[in-house]
Structure 1
């Protein structure tokens, strides 16, 4: 069975809204990778997913789907990691797409970059701190950034919040993770609190807007798209999972892109 993924990381969906698996590709394919359950991920080279089905999913909306996350990560690794970073020789990927070998026989694996992301709430848990990325405007989301060499993931989150918002945080707690195959990242989710209503430090300029939002205000704010860990964390906060002060249902604002 094949999972066909086009150049935009989109794929056909079946009637059940799950990724559509086909017995054999009817279009040209290039890169392939073996997935669990006897499924082969394959890159379409002469068609778009929208040409194969009226219902299409993509790597963003299905980021938490294990098969999709695995497929996109392995295809992307083969397409972008072509030379051994140690000796510069061409890499040859095995049939699984999970490991490559250099000319000297050295093993190279798909790259995974750890990235921290999380909910920052005020001391009493009634508001959440959200930012709008200057390079990807149009929606507000959780504070996030990559882990630097030599850092713990907790320290990385503290640093990112300080650099991007000028707030110091405490009660940093790990709450979950999500692979984000589009950038070969592993998103590590946190919750934390701050006593800083306003910034106390110089900002790095990565965010064009930083706002506080209450649960009542969230439905009027364009938020990170559904399927992302950012949206999940915001919704969990809105349900009171990190403060224990609210148990209602959350209806989010318009999705970002």
Structure 2
């Protein structure tokens, strides 16, 4: 088979459009952090990942409004427009959810909440060391956890691939998970396993999920996906439209080939939250890299 042209995105995925200055040089300088705390911006996130939103903008508190001294659990996200920004886990409150409202955020705000969710979700699961079982405490402004014995744990990011399968021409294969609404379809995704390359993961996941063999695997783009702390790596791959679909692992309830025209019509209609009872196909919203990849394949800006 002849290789097709590599797919490129006209704009980066939503959660990858702003590069946060992580201010790494301050992580080991508690005195500087303590001095900056009273006037620092603090992004509060509850255990369910909800945050305060004013229209389309994140709501920040000032450090002095939270506590007189910098809390142990405050994580330094970085520096934006000269101001330090921290993330802090707080008790449950009535806030917004990234999956539902993330597409409304600016590139700066979306990058900050993605970073905050990823690191706070790691802290929530890293209370004990896998090395010696001892309790851990945060250090370096929230970017390490250590035990009394000195065993250190660093933030973990889980790599996962997400793939658009095409036939090399005008058709794309999309899948629907069991828990999704009847008309909602998306790309195929799965976590990278130990000892596996990204391309091998793409091929394995498609074999397991829909029983097909793919070739011409090509990387497209990536984005953080803090549910709970993943990095989504976007690919395209080609498959034979005549190949029989078999749902080996039980994750996929349905998979279908759609034409480019059908995909363009679905993109124009909105997304999975759109009130379109007659739409035969609903696609993810722009918070997911899946939509950007589908738009690029469909030739929609």
Separation in 1 of the partners of 2:254 and 2:207?
15
Structure 2 residue 76 is the aligned partner of structure 1 residue 34? yes
For residues 106 and 143 of structure 1, do their structure 2 counterparts lie closer, same or farther at Cα, with a shift above 3 Å needed? same
State how far apart, in whole Å, the 2-side matches of 1:115 and 1:190 are: 11
CA shift in 2, pair 1:14/1:25, >3 Å:
farther
Alignment of 1:137-148 (within 5 A): 137-138=181-182, 139-148=184-193
CA contact (8 A) 2:42 2:87 kept: yes
Q: CA deviation at 1:22?
A: 2.5
How has the CA–CA distance of structure 1 residues 117 and 44 changed in structure 2, closer, same or farther, with 3 Å as cutoff? same
**Cα distance per residue 1:130-149 (max 9 Å; x no partner):** 11112445521101111111
Instruction: Pick from 170, 174, 195 the counterpart of residue 130 of structure 1.
Output: 174
Give the aligned partner of residue 195 of structure 1.
Answer: 240
* Richer in helix (by share): 2
Cα 1:46/1:115, change in 2 over 3 Å: closer
Given that residues 59 and 68 in structure 1 are in contact (C-alpha distance below 8 angstroms), is that contact kept between their aligned partners in structure 2? no
| CA displacement 1:11-69 (0-9 Å, x = unmatched) | 22345x232222248679994311101111122315322xxxxxx45256438722111
> Which structure 1 segments of 5+ residues have no match?
50-55, 240-248, 251-257
Is 1:228 the counterpart of 2:272? The answer is no
| 153-162 or 30-39, larger mean C-alpha shift | 30-39
Sort the Cα spacing of 1:196 and 1:203 in 2 relative to 1 into closer, same or farther, 3 A: farther
Q: 1:174 Cα shift?
A: 0.7
- Contact 1:170–1:194 (Cα < 8 Å) also in 2: yes
Pairwise CA RMSD: 2.5
47, 50, 62: which is aligned to 2:93?
47
Query: TM-score, normalised to structure 1's length?
Result: 0.81
Give the SS at the match of 2:249: coil
Instruction: Report the Cα offset of residue 153 of structure 1.
Output: 0.4
Q: Provide structure 2 residue ranges, at least 5 long, that are not aligned to the other structure.
A: 1-40, 267-278
- Does 2:52 match 1:12? yes
User: CA separation in 1, counterparts of 2:47 and 2:210?
Assistant: 35
Q: Tell whether the 8 Å contact from 2:208 to 2:248 is kept in structure 1 after alignment.
A: yes
TM-score normalised by the chain length of structure 2: 0.70
Structure ranking higher on relative contact order (CA contacts 8 Å, 6+ apart): 2
The structure with more strand, counted as a fraction of residues: 1
